[in-house]
């Protein structure tokens, strides 16, 4: 394993990068990004699950960068839509669309759906890969509801319509500090330290 203790965040999503820098700040690794490493190739998401996509991205970028690499795949699953958009959350409204476009598309699909049927969850799977090919998976999940309209200015993606009943707020109405204690990404990140320790032990 790379002895410089650098950890590459294999994402171009500025929102994810900002959250992960905070979530992983105490790991003892120097966090770097694709842009900072000069890695321009974009890994595809060929799988049919969060696990397969995260695994593929982490492994690809570990080989390209020669660094321990963290990649995730995440999505929103809405029960009334049979679990959609799921792994296609980022492409739900088509290519080259904005977060606002995707929110509008999802709300349109749920038009007329009663509140009690608007249950949903955010899911995240983090994959950590070494240059040598070892890999660890760290899943996380956050339960909620889909609001009838967007609320809040924080976060990104579907955060403005992901309502948390226990907090009486959407994810976008939370501060980043609070979100990073309860989100699907936070739940997965809590398992990253142990995963990194297991990978490091294989190198000694």
Eight-class DSSP state of 79: G
Q: Residue 70's Cα: distance from chain center in Å?
A: 11
Dist. CA 51–CA 129, nearest whole Å:
13
CA dihedral 82, 88, 89, 90 (to 10 degrees): -170
Question: 56 lies in a domain?
Answer: yes
**Total-model pTM:** 0.89
CATH code, 138: 3.90.950.10
Structural domain includes residue 103? yes
Which positions are annotated as active-site residues?
73
- pLDDT of the residue at 39: 86
Number of domains, the chain = 1
Compare 177 and 197 and report the one with higher pLDDT.
Answer: 177
Asked if residue 146 belongs to a domain, the reply is yes
The verdict on residue 1 lying in a domain is no
Mean pLDDT of 188-201: 87
Q: Which of 120-141 are b and which e, b meaning 16 or more Cβ less than 10 Å from the residue's Cβ?
A: bbbbbbbbbbbbeebbbbbbbe
Instruction: Give the model's pLDDT for residue 105.
Output: 96
- Of all residues in the chain, the percent with pLDDT exceeding 70 is 95
User: What was the pLDDT predicted at 203?
Assistant: 59
Residue 18 structural domain: 6-201
Rounded mean pLDDT of the chain? 91
pLDDT of residue 27 exceeding 80: yes
pLDDT of residue 198: 84
Q: Is residue 116 a part of any domain in this protein?
A: yes
Tell me if 75 is assigned to some domain. yes
pLDDT at 88 over 90: yes
pLDDT at 202: 64
Q: What are phi and psi of 200, to 5 degrees?
A: -65, -35
pLDDT in tens, 49-82: 999 999 999 999 999 999 999 999 999 999 999 9
pLDDT at 191 exceeding the cut of 90: yes
């Amino acid at each position: 394993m790379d002895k410089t203790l650098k950890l590459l965040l294999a994402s171009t999503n500025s929102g994810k990068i900002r959250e992960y820098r905070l979530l992983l700040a105490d790991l003892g690794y120097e966090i770097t990004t694709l842009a900072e490493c000069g890695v321009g190739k974009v890994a595809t998401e060929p799988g049919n699950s969060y696990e397969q996509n995260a695994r593929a991205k982490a492994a690809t970028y570990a080989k390209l960068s020669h660094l321990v690499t963290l990649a995730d795949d995440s999505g929103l699953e809405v029960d009334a839509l049979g679990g959609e958009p799921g792994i296609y959350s980022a492409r739900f409204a088509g290519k080259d669309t904005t977060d606002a476009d995707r929110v509008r598309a999802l709300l349109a699909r749920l038009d007329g759906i009663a509140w009690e049927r608007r249950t949903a969850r955010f899911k995240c799977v983090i994959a950590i890969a070494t240059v040598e090919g070892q890999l660890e998976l760290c899943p996380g999940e956050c339960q909620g509801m889909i609001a009838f309209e967007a609320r809040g200015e924080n976060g990104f993606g579907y955060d403005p319509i992901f309502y948390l009943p226990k907090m009486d707020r959407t994810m976008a109405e939370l501060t980043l500090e609070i979100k990073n204690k309860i989100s699907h990404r936070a739940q997965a990140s809590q398992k990253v330290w142990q995963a990194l320790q297991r990978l490091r032990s294989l190198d000694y």
